[in-house]
Amino acid sequence: MKLERADGKQIPGYFNSFGRTAKDGSYKFRKIPPGRYLVVMNPYGPDSEWPYDLQYYPFGIRRDEARVFDVAAGQRLAGIDFRAPLLQDRLTQVRVTWANGTAAADASVCVTYEGGSDYVDLAGTNCVKRTDRDGLAVIHTCGRSQVRIFASQMVDRDDQRWFDVFRSLPLQSAADQTPDKTNLVLISRKR
């Protein structure tokens, strides 16, 4: 679970805005500063360990569908419950290569879900697998929402002070229609 400010800004102070659910499904946020908030379950989308859809309370997949809570100092909120059906997952074998066709070992394979915080900008916060020495990884996609699958690799250049970041173009499809196998080619972000 994640608590977000309604205006999209960072919550002030050292507040932990992520909360794990207990075995019974309950969750708590403590010492919430006064303000306007919304609650989102699974903000980066489902994965093989948590196959439940992203959901803004009460039933939306986008921020603009969320209920906004006005929280006053000392106020307690309860009953912010989610209904989250278990999603079917699909396996996709991903092969990542460099532009010259050689395998990209240890590249990150990322899956972003529509409505997730990294869907539009492909920030790569939900990088679910690393490729093996042959550039292969098997990923899970869950549900039916739109997903973008891409690969990313940082390369340390001895002659530079910075890392070069290489990223593939994203493959986009419905999560339940991702191909059984796909190839992604890493290209420089400088292009």
Separation of alpha carbons 190 and 124, rounded Å: 17
Residue 81 has pLDDT above 70, yes or no: yes
102 & 127 share domain: yes
pTM over 0.85: no
Write the pLDDT tens digit of every residue in 111-127.
Answer: 988 877 777 777 766 78
Q: Are residues 7 and 58 in the same domain?
A: yes
**74 near 57, Cβ under 8 Å?**
no
Same domain, 116 and 131: yes
Q: Distance between CA atoms of 117 and 139, rounded to whole angstroms?
A: 20
N-terminal to C-terminal alpha carbon distance within the chain = 37
pLDDT at 191: 44
Last residue of a domain, one of 64, 86, 108: 86
**Average pLDDT for 19-48:** 86
Q: How high is the pLDDT of residue 158?
A: 66
Greater confidence (13 vs 7) lies with 7
Do 75 and 97 fall within a single domain?
no
What's the pLDDT at 157?
A: 66
Model pLDDT, residue 130: 94
Do 99 and 82 belong together in one domain? no
Please tell me the distance from the alpha carbon of residue 81 to that of residue 114, in angstroms, as a whole number: 22
Domain boundary among 71, 86, 101: 86
Structure tokens belonging to residue 97: 């290569």
The domain total for the chain is 2
Are both 183 and 111 inside the same structural domain? yes
Domain final residue, candidates 86, 105, 134:
86
**What range defines the domain where residue 11 resides?**
1-86
- Given this model, what pLDDT does residue 26 score? 86
